[in-house]
Structure formats: C-alpha cells, structure tokens
C-alpha cells in the first residue's frame, strides 16, 4: 500500500528522484470512526460512545520550498490537483473535498501555529465517501497530525481534535460537535471511548464483543452535512434549552435525566423543539446505560439500547429517512442480531449492527436483498475492526 501511494505521489507531483525511505516523502494514516450509541448528543452536552476503525485515510506528503499548498485525492482523480497558498486560505466551493485540509491549516494558523513552508499532499481514503463514518473528520485529523509532526508543533491529541472541530465550524460552516474529531484523534485499538462532551473527560471502555462482529451497512444515499438539516436540529435544541433555563439551572440538555425532563418539558413552547430535546436527554441516558451494560457483559441490554436509540432518532429527532429505516428494520428481523441503529448525522449514511459472527454472511445477504427490493439499489456492507488513532507509517 505505502509503495503504491508513494508511486502515485511521484506521478502526480513529479518527484521521480526521491526514494521512499529518504525521509523527504512521508506517509501517514488516520482512521474513520463509528459511533456505537450517543447520536446528536455531542453538541447538547451529553455523552457519546464512538470507536476508531481500521479503515481510514492515508496521505503521502512532501514539503515544498515555497508557500504553495497542492492537494490531490485518489478518490477524486477527475478533479485533479487543487492549489492554494498558506497566505490566502479561503473556503471555495470549487475546491470541493480540499476545503477540509485547507480548513485545518487555516485553523492552525489562526491558533498561532505558523507554517513556514508549503506542502504537496496526496490523499487516499478507504472510508466510503459521505457514508457517515467521518471521512471528512478523518482528513481533518490526518492533516492536523501531519502538520504537527512535520513542523514539530507542541500540542496534544485532544488539542488537535479541538483545532479540527474549530476548522469545521468556522471554515467549512458545519456547526458540528467534538465527537468525530476526538474519536479519530484519540482512538485506541480494542476500545471505544466513553466521552463526556461537556468537559472532554473520557475513559476507554474495552469492546468485549466475544463471538460478535460490528457490521456497518452503507445506504449509498448521498448527503452533505452542510446542506442537510444538521444546523437546523442544533438550533432547535438551543431553542429548547433557552426555554428550559427559565425553570432549571442548566447549561446543556445533557444535564437533565429523564424524570427531570418530563417535569420541565411543558416549558418548551414549540412542540418540535420539545421532541428534539427529548431525544437529546434520553439518548444521553441511554449512552450511560449502554456503557454500563458492556462493563457487565450484558450485550443483550446493550443491543436493546441501540434499538431504542434508532427509534428515538426516527421519531423524535427525525434524522433517519426511508433508506436508514429500511436497513435497520431489515436487520431487526434477522437471527443473531443483538442491536442495530443508524450512526452518524443521519439523512443517509450508515447503520451499525452487532451480529453473531457465525451469522454475518446470512445477515449481509438477507438485509441486502430486502434493502435492494424496497429501495431500488444496493447497500454496501463492511465487517469492521476497532482501530487506533493517527500514525506515521
């Protein structure tokens, strides 16, 4: 893999004289992530439970002598090389995917990390694009990690996650929470991350799924977060919080438990905002219960909480849609499925299921057939392993 990527880099950027191990060209990797439970809670002051994956984004990089930034993706070869300069980093719709690495370099400059040289970077991702497995956050964290390593900047991986979130909020214009960047930057093999998004306290929880596999199904429905109703949902939650603050001394929806929410919910004037807030509160509590269930080796309860999460995302948060619901409902019918739910922002993207390892092939076959029959096109399936954070390779 490394040799193929380096050869492609030389072909694109004309580095024929450089050998792989000379130190001039360097190769890096950052994972994608899947969130097992805790959806749309990260910007509501709640808990999330993601893990890094072994699929992700690779990059080959070489510094250049001027301040020119040149980006190339093997996933979007038809776009070609996208160029910019460090001094003139601005969002440009025409730059497509390259706005993400541009955003991170811009954010690093904004935070006082001065980059004195330009870079040629080739990217290759084996995360399905627009699938909800955080291909964009993977590129962001990977770019930040590369720059940190190449220019010897002194910040830790939590700070890297914050910088990447800032980049997406301020440069891309998607008001995302911290989960995706944190899960990718802080990934640990064999563990999921139980993260409190209010203060970024976290613990690594071992994923003890003996005899089971995590199966991700991609709807193949395209959607872009910036164009979706993601920011609208966030605003609805903020409106609900303002109403609740008239009767409760809270800074976020995640501070309430179910009983407190039921006692105060009538103060939320808009019934739509009330539904959104209910999801945020109940989903946070489900996430806390799910991690406890895993600690107690109660995979049955963990699966039931996954299912309840999807129902809430469908009915109260309304971010699933026909494709995701079709996949999940087909999964629920299958023998050996402990739990299944949408994962990611919604409006398309992926589901995540915990499946008996002996029944995975049957699961993929049966769910795939039902999905194609109802939706009219195929879903893609990935049996994934839990990976680690970014690294030089």
Which residue numbers are catalytic?
180
Of 320, 326, 318, nearest to 349 by C-alpha is: 320
What is the number of other CB atoms lying within 10 angstroms of the CB of residue 19? 11
Contact (CB, 8 A) for 25 and 85: no
Residue 95 in 3-state DSSP? helix
Q: How far apart are CA 48 and CA 181, in angstroms?
A: 12
Residue 230 in 3-state DSSP? helix
Q: How far apart are CA 118 and CA 64, in angstroms?
A: 5
DSSP string computed for 239-295: HHHHHHTTTS--SSGGG--HHHHHHHGGG--SHHHHHHHHHHHHHHHHHHHHHHHHH
Return the beta strands (E) in the chain as ranges: 26-35, 47-48, 50-64, 68-73, 82-85, 118-125, 191-196, 201-206, 212-218, 337-343, 350-356, 380-384, 391-392
């Amino acid at each position: 893999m490394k040799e193929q990527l380096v050869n492609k880099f030389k072909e694109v950027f004309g580095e024929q004289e450089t050998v792989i191990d000379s130190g001039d060209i360097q190769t890096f990797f950052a994972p994608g992530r899947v969130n097992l439970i805790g959806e749309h809670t990260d910007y509501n002051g709640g808990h999330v439970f993601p893990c890094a994956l072994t699929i992700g984004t690779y990059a080959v990089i070489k510094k250049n002598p001027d301040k020119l930034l040149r980006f190339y993706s093997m996933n979007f070869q038809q776009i070609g090389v996208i160029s910019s300069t460090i001094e003139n980093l601005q969002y440009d719709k025409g730059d497509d995917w390259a706005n993400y690495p541009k955003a991170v370099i811009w954010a690093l400059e904004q935070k006082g990390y001065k980059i004195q040289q330009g870079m040629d970077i080739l990217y290759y991702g084996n995360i399905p694009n627009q699938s909800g497995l955080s291909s964009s956050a993977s590129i962001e964290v990977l770019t930040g990690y590369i720059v940190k390593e190449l220019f010897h900047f002194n910040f830790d991986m939590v700070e890297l996650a914050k910088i990447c979130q800032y980049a997406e909020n301020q440069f891309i214009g998607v008001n995302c929470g911290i989960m995706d960047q944190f899960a990718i930057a802080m990934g640990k093999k064999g563990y999921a991350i139980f993260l409190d998004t209010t203060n970024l306290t976290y613990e690594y929880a071992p994923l003890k799924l003996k005899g089971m596999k995590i199966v991700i199904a991609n709807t193949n429905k395209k959607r872009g977060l910036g164009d979706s109703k993601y920011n609208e949902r966030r605003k609805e939650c903020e409106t609900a919080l303002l109403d609740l603050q008239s009767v409760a001394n809270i800074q976020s929806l995640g501070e309430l438990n179910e009983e407190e929410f039921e006692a105060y919910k009538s103060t939320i004037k808009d019934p739509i905002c009330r539904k959104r807030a209910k999801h945020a509160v109940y989903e946070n509590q489900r996430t806390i219960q799910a991690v406890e269930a895993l600690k107690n080796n109660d995979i049955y309860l963990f699966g039931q909480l996954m299912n309840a999460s999807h129902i809430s995302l469908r009915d109260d948060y309304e971010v699933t849609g026909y494709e995701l619901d079709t996949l999940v409902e087909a999964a629920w019918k299958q023998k050996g499925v402990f739990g299944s739910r949408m994962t990611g922002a919604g409006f398309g993207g992926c589901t995540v299921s915990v499946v008996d390892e002996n029944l995975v092939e049957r699961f993929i076959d049966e769910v795939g057939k039902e999905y194609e029959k109802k939706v009219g096109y195929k879903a893609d399936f990935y049996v994934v392993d839990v990976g680690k954070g970014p690294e030089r390779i």
